[in-house]
Structure 1
Amino acid sequence: MQSSRAAALSRALRTAVRNPSHSAVTKRYSSSVAAIASQHHNSLSATYSARPAAIRSSPTAALQLRRHASSSSSPSEPLRKTPLYDLHLKHGGKMVPFGGFHMPVQYSALSVSQSHNFTREHASIFDVSHMVQRIFSGPGAAKFLQRITPSDCEGLGPFRSTLSVLLTADGKGGISDDTIVTKLPDGTFYVVTNAGCREKDNEYLDREIGKWNSEEPGLQVKEERWDGRGLVALQGPRAAEVLEEVLEDKSLDLKQIMFGQSFRAKVKGAGSELLIARGGYTGEDGFEISIPEEDTVKVTETLLGVGPDKVQLAGLGARDSLRLEAGMCLYGHDLDDATTPVEAGLSWIIPKERRSADAGYYGADVIAKQLVPKSKGGSGVERRRVGLIVEGAPAREGAEIVSRAEGGKEAASLGVVTSGCPSPSLGKNIAMGYVKDGFHKAGTEVDVLVRGRPRKAVVAKMPFVPTKYWKGIAPA
């Protein structure tokens, strides 16, 4: 049933993005767009992740990930609509099932590659309202989050954010989901999690909060889910310019708001203040804007009103190629519950004060050992995620990575591709995946089996395209 639904969706997507005026890259990319329809990703999940993430390096693992990444809604459950559904249709959005929602894969005005390039050159608006927005409150909120994540939530300043992960409760250090945690001035925490993990995360958090509250009666925790609230991502080099034009408070200097910081502000026409975070999932400068449901359409139309030469709507197709060029991970494909943060190349999200075996979060002892290389007495890791430049046909998820069969040597299995597509910015086929430790250095030549045929590939540093996060003006 699932495979037939996926095949039907794949055909629909290929039809949706087929256009005689598309460039060669767009045509080659259409099959990649089809592949993402069964995926779910956190628009914020890799907002602060310019470093690699990882996945298990076996064909079996890849199959498990595909199952894990399927939509959270069952075939009998109707797809949900974001507050922007009608706006998408008005602008020629081609809608597909994604994470349990009707979501736009592209719009009639631009091809996928054109939309991708427009984002790199100007600014685009992405609807990410399918994500789950949560508020954690109570005297034990920070300590509770420090049990289920490796982050220093108590040490976060007001309006400061950190990339984090929900850790599996089995103590093995696996990633149950990836997330962004933001501390608000009132001491509550704003947390965004994956759409496709909605039910899984809800069950996990209900169980863990219940367990915490029974163990810590003086440090109670409460979770509130902002269902129905809008969330849009304004991304691109002109994002700040666009946002400045619609802010009511003209004295607000966006140059003082750095990557990873948030603020509250009113946008023209909105009835209340919006929570705005500087960050995104494309590698460009940008903002994630959380909006009350009743204001979501008005705010989005106000942003679009700045002008089509500066900002346009963009869909899932461009979003996927942008995040891959930026070396950002997609949960259920490049991350899963059998992957630890260290294996995932996310050691940097663990602060120094939380790197000991007794740090108090799930799997701390396992992760602490992995943080120390074998050469220094730790366990290290056996596999690493890498970027790949692939010659010939693009490598898709599940393609096996093998050693070069040279000098009479037989090729050996090294790992598996977890994401891949043609890069509109580079005009090359790019991919990411896991390889055995020792084969991860940039410049290492490998082969990728594409439809059973070996294609030459070279390990490349990520991001493939330089990121442009706003971190202030560098001193002269």
Structure 2
Amino acid sequence: MLKQIPLHALHLELGAKMVAFSGYQMPIQYWDGIVREHLHCRSQAGFFDISHMGQCMVSGDGVADELERLTPSDITGLKSGQQKYTVLTNSDGGSIDDIIITRIGSGLVLVVNAACKEKDFQYLSNRLSDRCQLIELTEQALFALQGPSAATIMRKFSAMASNLPFMQACETGLGGIQCTVSRSGYTGEDGFEISVAASHAEALARLLLSENDVAPIGLGARDTLRLEAGLCLYGHELNETITPVEAGLSWLIKKGHTDFPGADKIIQQLQQGPEKIRVGLSIDSKQPVRQGSVIINDNDDIIGHVTSGSYAPSLGRPVAMALLNRSHAAIGTRLYASVRGQQIPATVTPLPFVPHRYQR
């Protein structure tokens, strides 16, 4: 039985096409379609319902230190209101999930991927000591407001939230509704994520959607936006066999940190370089290449595979991300994607495909 998010009825009212995603009925697109939604977010502001994501509060003595021993990142250094993007690693250095950790007054709030939340919360419960308490925030909805108009719109409701720098959060009211707002997102655009009690979710959604520049955006455009921004999607660019170094996320690893699962392998990759690495691919064809497509070189040697691929509406052409042998990952390298017996030309290109516009 698929679960419903708090705004299920509102999405139907807005003309959403609902699909099964991570155990939930989720809006994939609305009347305007994926391309128009995508371009609206890039030019104005998009409203995303991401309430299927998992949210939890972890509190107790030494909780930051204990969480730091489960990730390669600096968690103890987080100050109140600061956020950190990181990964939970396994003993082989692979990624159990990629998560966002926010320090607030009473502890640390984690946002995890919908498909991973049950295993994540069980993993954390099994590894955190009795000094720590994990509470799933099952009565919270989660929204994102993304795009160049997002800050102007947010300023109408909360000057405090609109003045946040990137990866900072605050507790504030929006139209009289108490929320936790962060300056973050998954589109490459400036914007905000908003955690709100499910009982107030519809009122807040209608408030934001009443703004002229705001349009509802489904999962389809959310995926093409994050692909253009060169952002990892768990199950594609990250999984339990792909390390953060291979995924191009070496920047999230705390210097000198050696006390976390898989540290030996990850530190070795930092020092010697990984055998494979995530890259961007410019597809020299009108035909998109999809996840799983094999990448070959001029000698027909298999040297990697596509992790995500689609038409990029902002660029008017297909792009992809791939996990390649490091020996073939130099910018400008000409390769081929094998698609239904055809060899589609591709060129290794820098990430992101579309520049980020975060408010630093």
TM-score normalised by length of structure 1? 0.74
Amino acid at match of 1:106: Q
Amino acid at match of 1:279: S
Q: Which residue of 1 aligns with 2:278?
A: 385
Deviations for 1:56-77, whole angstroms, at most 9, x for unmatched residues? xxxxxxxxxxxxxxxxxxxxxx
Q: Which residue of 1 aligns with 2:326?
A: 437
Which whole-Å CA distance do the structure 2 matches of 1:253 and 1:349 have between them?
A: 25
Q: 1:145 Cα deviation (Å)?
A: 0.3
Q: Which residue of 2 aligns with 1:223?
A: 134
Amino acid at match of 2:15: G
Q: 1:439 Cα deviation (Å)?
A: 1.2
Alignment of 1:34-53 (within 5 A): none
Q: Which residue of 2 aligns with 1:333?
A: 236
Q: Which residue of 1 aligns with 2:167?
A: 260
1:235–1:280: 8 Å Cα contact kept in structure 2?
Answer: yes
Question: What SS does the aligned partner of 2:10 have?
Answer: helix
Which whole-Å CA distance do the structure 1 matches of 2:161 and 2:245 have between them?
A: 37
2:161–2:181: 8 Å Cα contact kept in structure 1?
Answer: no
Alignment of 1:70-469 (within 5 A): 78-108=1-31, 110-168=32-90, 171-186=91-106, 188-209=107-128, 212-213=129-130, 220-247=131-158, 250=159, 252=160, 254-255=162-163, 257-270=164-177, 273-307=178-212, 310-354=213-257, 359-373=258-272, 380-392=273-285, 393-404=287-298, 410-469=299-358
Amino acid at match of 1:254: S
Q: 1:364 Cα deviation (Å)?
A: 1.5
Q: 1:282 Cα deviation (Å)?
A: 0.3
Q: 1:254 Cα deviation (Å)?
A: 2.4
Which whole-Å CA distance do the structure 2 matches of 1:150 and 1:432 have between them?
A: 24
TM-score normalised by length of structure 2? 0.97
1:239–1:286: 8 Å Cα contact kept in structure 2?
Answer: yes
Which whole-Å CA distance do the structure 1 matches of 2:119 and 2:254 have between them?
A: 27
Q: Percent identity?
A: 41
Which whole-Å CA distance do the structure 2 matches of 1:372 and 1:167 have between them?
A: 18
Q: 1:206 Cα deviation (Å)?
A: 2.4
1:276–1:288: 8 Å Cα contact kept in structure 2?
Answer: yes
Deviations for 1:379-421, whole angstroms, at most 9, x for unmatched residues? x2101111101122110011000002xxxxx311110001000
Structure 2: state its 5+ residue gaps: none
Question: What SS does the aligned partner of 1:117 have?
Answer: helix
Deviations for 1:266-308, whole angstroms, at most 9, x for unmatched residues? 01142xx21001010000000000001111111111111222x
Structure-2 change in CA distance of 1:253 and 1:200 (3 Å): closer
Which whole-Å CA distance do the structure 2 matches of 1:253 and 1:416 have between them?
A: 41
Which whole-Å CA distance do the structure 2 matches of 1:269 and 1:259 have between them?
A: 24
Question: What SS does the aligned partner of 1:181 have?
Answer: strand
Question: What SS does the aligned partner of 2:205 have?
Answer: helix
1:269–1:298: 8 Å Cα contact kept in structure 2?
Answer: no
Question: What SS does the aligned partner of 2:359 have?
Answer: coil
Structure-2 change in CA distance of 1:189 and 1:423 (3 Å): same
2:93–2:261: 8 Å Cα contact kept in structure 1?
Answer: yes
Amino acid at match of 1:278: R
Question: What SS does the aligned partner of 1:148 have?
Answer: coil
Q: 1:208 Cα deviation (Å)?
A: 1.6
Q: 1:134 Cα deviation (Å)?
A: 0.7
Question: What SS does the aligned partner of 1:156 have?
Answer: coil
**Aligned Cα root-mean-square deviation (Å):** 1.2
Which whole-Å CA distance do the structure 2 matches of 1:194 and 1:83 have between them?
A: 17
The alignment of Structure 1 onto Structure 2 pairs a total of residues equal to 359
Say which one has the larger Rg. 1
Relative CO higher for 1 or 2, CA cutoff 8 Å, sep ≥ 6?
1
Which whole-Å CA distance do the structure 1 matches of 2:322 and 2:359 have between them?
A: 28
Which whole-Å CA distance do the structure 2 matches of 1:253 and 1:278 have between them?
A: 8
Deviations for 1:158-192, whole angstroms, at most 9, x for unmatched residues? 10011111111xx2111100001111133x00100
Which whole-Å CA distance do the structure 2 matches of 1:353 and 1:156 have between them?
A: 17
Q: 1:205 Cα deviation (Å)?
A: 1.9
2:180–2:194: 8 Å Cα contact kept in structure 1?
Answer: yes
Q: Which residue of 2 aligns with 1:52?
A: none
Structure 1: state its 5+ residue gaps: 1-77, 214-219, 374-379, 405-409, 472-476
1:269–1:302: 8 Å Cα contact kept in structure 2?
Answer: no
Q: 1:198 Cα deviation (Å)?
A: 2.2
Amino acid at match of 1:386: V
1:82–1:228: 8 Å Cα contact kept in structure 2?
Answer: no
Which whole-Å CA distance do the structure 2 matches of 1:221 and 1:322 have between them?
A: 37
Question: What SS does the aligned partner of 2:115 have?
Answer: coil
Question: What SS does the aligned partner of 1:371 have?
Answer: helix
Which 4+ stretches in 1 moved above 3 angstroms? Answer: none
Which whole-Å CA distance do the structure 2 matches of 1:143 and 1:99 have between them?
A: 31
